[in-house]
Amino acid sequence: MAARPDTNVERVQLGVRLEKRMVQVLKGLAEFNDETLGQLLEKIVLHSFEPMPGEEGEWSASPHGKRALTAIADLKRVYGMEYEVHATRAFAPEGESAEP
């Protein structure tokens, strides 16, 4: 269901920790899209909640068009975000180093 222009929302301040290069890419993408980081994150989350028809549980819709995807690839290269979508499974727990 699409939101009406008069949909009331209450936004809250959220303290989260994210991987530094990912944050740099997100901030760059928000700037590219001429939106705030919060607006970008809301869009990403809402799209991640919508399954692709016939692919429920496997795929979700992307809010990014071809131009934005090209910008994302460039930003990832610039900021050294060289990991893929499932990399978080291998991220060291908070406060622990990934180094041996």
Q: How far apart are CA 46 and CA 44, in angstroms?
A: 6
Distance of alpha carbon 41 from alpha carbon 27, whole angstroms? 10
Degrees to nearest 5, angle at CA 57 with 17 and 36: 35
Round to whole Å and give the CA distance between 30 and 89. Answer: 25
pTM, entire model? 0.79
Q: What is the mean pLDDT of each run of 10 residues along the chain (100 residues)?
A: 74 92 97 96 91 83 90 95 84 68
